[in-house]
Amino acid sequence: MKKLAVFISFLTFFFSPFFSPQIPGLVNYGEESGLNNSYTYSLSQDHNGYIWVGSDNGLFRFDGKEFKQYSKKSGLKNLEILSSLPLDNGEIFIFPFLNDFAYLKDGHIINSDSNKELRKIQFRYNVNYSTDNHSIYIFTGHNPKSIYLFKDEKVTKIPLYFNTHNPSDIYYALALDVKTHLLYLSSKEKKENLLAYDIFTKQTTKCNVYLEKDAVVYKKGNFFIFRDKRKITIYKLYNKFTFKKIQTYSVNENIHQVIIDKNYRIWLCMEEGGALYFKQTLLDNKKLTAPIQFLSGNIINHLMVDKDNNTWFSTRNNGVYFITAKFLNSYIHLPIPNNSAYITAISKNDNSILLGYNESTAGIYNFHTIKDLVFEKNRKIEHKAIVSEKNMVFFGLSRSLVQYNTATGEKQILGDFNLKNLVPYTDSSILICSSEGLTAYHYLTRQYTEMIKQERVYTALSYDKDSLFVGNFKDLYKFSTRTKKKKLFLEDYYFTDLKKLSNNTYIGATNRNGIIIFSNKRILGKISENNGLPTNQIKKIEIENEKVFWASTNSGLSRIEIGGSHFRINNFTQPDGLPSNLVAGCAIKNDTIYVGTSKGLGILSVRDLLRQQRLIDKKAIINSVIIGYQEFFNLNQKLTTQAPNDDIIVNVSFPDYASQGKISYKYKIEGLSENWLISTSPKIILNSVPPGEYVLKIFGLGYNGRQTSVPTELYFEIKPRFWQTWWFKTLLILTGAVLLFIFINWYFQKKRNKKLETLYYEKKIAELELQAIKAQINPHFIYNCLNSIQFLLYKKNYEETENYLNVFSQMIRKTLYYSEKTFMPIKEEVEYLSLYLNMEKLRLKEQFEYTINVSETVNENWVIPSLLIQPFVENAIKHGIANITDRKGKIGIFFEYINASLCITIEDNGVGIGTINQSMTKKESFGVKLSQKRIETFKQLFETHITLEIKSFSGQESKHGTQIKLYITPYENQNTSMHH
């Protein structure tokens, strides 16, 4: 049996790469966080600590609180940013897909238009690079012909001449060692040893190892890793040309990427998703053991371990994942399967940690695993409390009580209770607090003793042989088990939990009054937010010893140490290693504290928690200072300004990623005030600073109020101007009063005028609508139509006469209908024009043909002024098409969206109208004049812009006819629905 257990343990260990439990503390940054892209690529970190993320939507900088995007507007020509490389001088070199390289300097993107040196760098394939932190060597991996050296904003081309037997041989550049200037090459076609090529002396030396076809090489320091599908081979380089094989490791799926982090640990990004992590470092020269898998459901493009040993994962379609060093170490050294459930109760016995969830299930943690217990399937009732005595465990759910024997595995549902709490009582009994009262359950005899009936009881605690503290919803009583009488002890405290700290000293957790320390006679002390608790709403108490206890809250976990009349409080939240800040309770065994949270079980060392530094060894960073309309990035100089530019905006960041965005700033202006101010905004705004010399001191504040060890300082001076004298201020007040009086008068006069103007334009609209009817249904038009009908009747062409009458009646009805409308949709305008043109074609015996085209960029539901286009179409027929005899007439009407304007074009191939002035003075152009008048009225009434352009071709460029263009700008007046 023992051998079987060992074998099972071995299998579990060996196949651990295939097992990926939920990772507590894992944070995802995506679109909601400001990282709006689909793919994220390479990650990097600069000397200030900022995280740089390459993506398919530009470059992003993350400071721990917000993402700043650099895009086309910022100066990037290519938004597909594969990677970025921070340099020691503060520049960030940007590697896009293929070409269009750029770099960031003093807050600005420098592209090839700004620095023509960048135009020298041109490649047909994606590039590799190496750096010594001062300069960058850029080259392509596919048969490189040259290397480009970028240094001090200059580009130098280094040609490559490989000394090979066949000049047509193709080589892959695997890695460049900038210290030795050696470029390591591998033949594409031939199976031959690697070559080491000195890029300056042009000498080639053969190495003692060859590369399999399609294998890829990754390098860090003197270590080379050859990746070949599902296998990696690790080599160490000696004397520049000698490779010594360290080991080979195979996995069960193809490897997408190999990363050697800053600690020389290996990560394998898998093609099917997830990353495998090896605990051993290359520097230890130890054999790789079974890796641990991360993020199995995500395709990981890159990952990075930052300066604080936090780990970042860039993914395909899922943004960036982040986990702090504490959570990572906890997960690596103590991975717990199925550890993500919402814990609402926790307790312990001699061997195990007992967990109750927010449903009818529980768990028993032992030996790094959680054994699941299911009491009632599909019943969503949460645990309220757990009590254990040796092998007997009582799980108190909100609607039932379950007894479980850990030795035999036997479980028994004792009954239905509207349960509020479970409390240990005697060696063989527990107290059941419920809505029905207080009941003692003797589990050896399986008998119940009712103590308090028909009264809600939330908590209880035995403090004497025949005496209990009993808490209802708001008050605490003393209750005699002998006489069954109770006496009010503490009123309006809303106790949620009671524990004995020491002889005649008790701790009470309350729902709104913090923590109460009391004896059986009186209150001994109170601990609240004023003393340093994160909240006054306390859920559970756990006793460590007679001087120390822990309080569980919805804002984390607190450790309280009593020292006389003083309290030492340490607060712990998610950045300290808690899976969540919603803590249901905790249990302590030796130096380990087990914390039940809404995101699973946290297991932490008390010693490590208390050893955490209260100060953060970082500084707040001033990114830029805005004075007036000018932004300064170079802050080494003393900043000087003068009124009226005495408003200063300081853009700051504090890249403490362990705080997970819970960042604020403490600052004061030395020389103006000694009071420290707190701000959660990354913009510190100093308004109207009086003349003088000042020093702005800024501390970064992380989670739990942890502060940077030293402040960041900014020196600046405000010089006085003449208007800061008292006489000028007095004159200014008097002038302001006069101007205010004038403005008030002007304002009310403007309102009166506006009202009159509105009435005037409403009348004008009515007149305009009347004129539109007259313009559309003029007697001459009706006469022509009736004449045509009479002629058709004379010829006894009754079928055509009927068609003509149908079209004519529809035209008359639609004209009357739209004459009453101020606006009409484009699609209805098209239908109206089609009807009109069809009628004209009947009248003119198919003398012309027409087309109406609405561009795909135009929404047919956009509205335009009604009956605005028809007069221009009528003008094109009467004065253009009707007068031509040598060709068939053509009319084209086009709706397009150009430069944020709707463009309506009416074209004909008629005789042309000559100049615009001549056309507009013709009698027959009354409809056009009326349309122009309507255009002006629309401009005044609806504050939109309509432009009319008339162009006559008159045979120019072998083209005849007239072109009329109407431009209508976007319209957003609240009184209409016009918008495009």
What are the tens digits of pLDDT across the range 20-57?
446 778 899 999 999 999 899 999 999 999 999 999 99
Residue 523: which pLDDT band, with cuts at 50, 70 and 90? very high
Q: Which helix (H) or strand (E) holds 653?
A: strand 648-653
Please determine, for residue 853, whether its predicted confidence score (pLDDT) is greater than 80. yes
Helices (H) and strands (E) in the chain, counts: 10, 73
882 contacts 928 by C-beta, under 8 angstroms: no
**Minimal CA–CA distance to 15: which of 229, 251, 277, 247?**
251
Model pLDDT, residue 775: 54
- Ranges of H-type helices in 256-402: 325-333
What's the alpha-carbon Rg for the chain, to the nearest Å? 41
Mean pLDDT (whole number) for 939-963: 77
Q: 915 or 878: which carries more pLDDT confidence?
A: 878
Mean pLDDT (whole number) for 297-305: 94
Model pLDDT, residue 917: 42
Mean pLDDT (whole number) for 860-869: 87
Residue 778: which pLDDT band, with cuts at 50, 70 and 90? low
Model pLDDT, residue 916: 41
Q: Token pair of 888, please?
A: 């068939």
386 contacts 395 by C-beta, under 8 angstroms: yes
Model pLDDT, residue 58: 96
Please determine, for residue 924, whether its predicted confidence score (pLDDT) is greater than 80. no
Give the Å distances, CA to CA, from 454 to 103, 439, 447.
Answer: 75, 11, 19
Residue 557: which pLDDT band, with cuts at 50, 70 and 90? very high
* CA trace torsion 799, 800, 804, 810 (10° rounding): 40
Give the Å distances, CA to CA, from 51 to 170, 322, 345, 933.
Answer: 37, 11, 39, 60
Parallel, antiparallel, or unpaired: how do β-strands 946-952 and 889-898 relate?
A: unpaired
Q: Token pair of 939, please?
A: 């401009």
Model pLDDT, residue 805: 83
Q: Token pair of 830, please?
A: 């098209």
- Give the whole-angstrom CA distance, residue 867 versus residue 810: 15
- Give the pLDDT confidence of 221-251 residue by residue, as tens digits: 999 999 999 999 999 999 999 999 999 999 9
Residue 953: which pLDDT band, with cuts at 50, 70 and 90? confident
Q: Token pair of 713, please?
A: 């300082």
Please determine, for residue 470, whether its predicted confidence score (pLDDT) is greater than 90. yes
Give the Å distances, CA to CA, from 120 to 2, 105, 136, 307.
Answer: 70, 19, 14, 34
Please determine, for residue 921, whether its predicted confidence score (pLDDT) is greater than 50. no
Give the Å distances, CA to CA, from 565 to 375, 531, 538.
Answer: 46, 12, 21
Q: What is the share, in percent, of the chain residues with pLDDT greater than 90?
A: 57
Q: Token pair of 134, please?
A: 């001062």
Parallel, antiparallel, or unpaired: how do β-strands 712-719 and 639-642 relate?
A: parallel
- Give the whole-angstrom CA distance, residue 93 versus residue 117: 13
Model pLDDT, residue 46: 94
- Give the pLDDT confidence of 621-669 residue by residue, as tens digits: 999 998 878 888 888 777 888 766 668 899 999 999 988 888 999 999 9
Please determine, for residue 779, whether its predicted confidence score (pLDDT) is greater than 70. no
691 contacts 651 by C-beta, under 8 angstroms: no
Please determine, for residue 563, whether its predicted confidence score (pLDDT) is greater than 90. no
The sign one gets for the Cα dihedral 508, 513, 515, 516 is: negative
Q: What is the share, in percent, of the chain residues with pLDDT greater than 70?
A: 89
Q: Token pair of 514, please?
A: 């913090």
Mean pLDDT (whole number) for 341-364: 93
Q: 881 or 506: which carries more pLDDT confidence?
A: 506
Parallel, antiparallel, or unpaired: how do β-strands 707-708 and 615-616 relate?
A: parallel
* Tokens 């320390």 -> residue: 517
Mean per-residue pLDDT of the chain: 86
- Give the whole-angstrom CA distance, residue 945 versus residue 628: 34
- Give the pLDDT confidence of 91-127 residue by residue, as tens digits: 999 999 988 999 999 889 999 999 999 999 998 888 9
Please determine, for residue 975, whether its predicted confidence score (pLDDT) is greater than 50. no
**Minimal CA–CA distance to 532: which of 620, 617, 654, 614?**
614
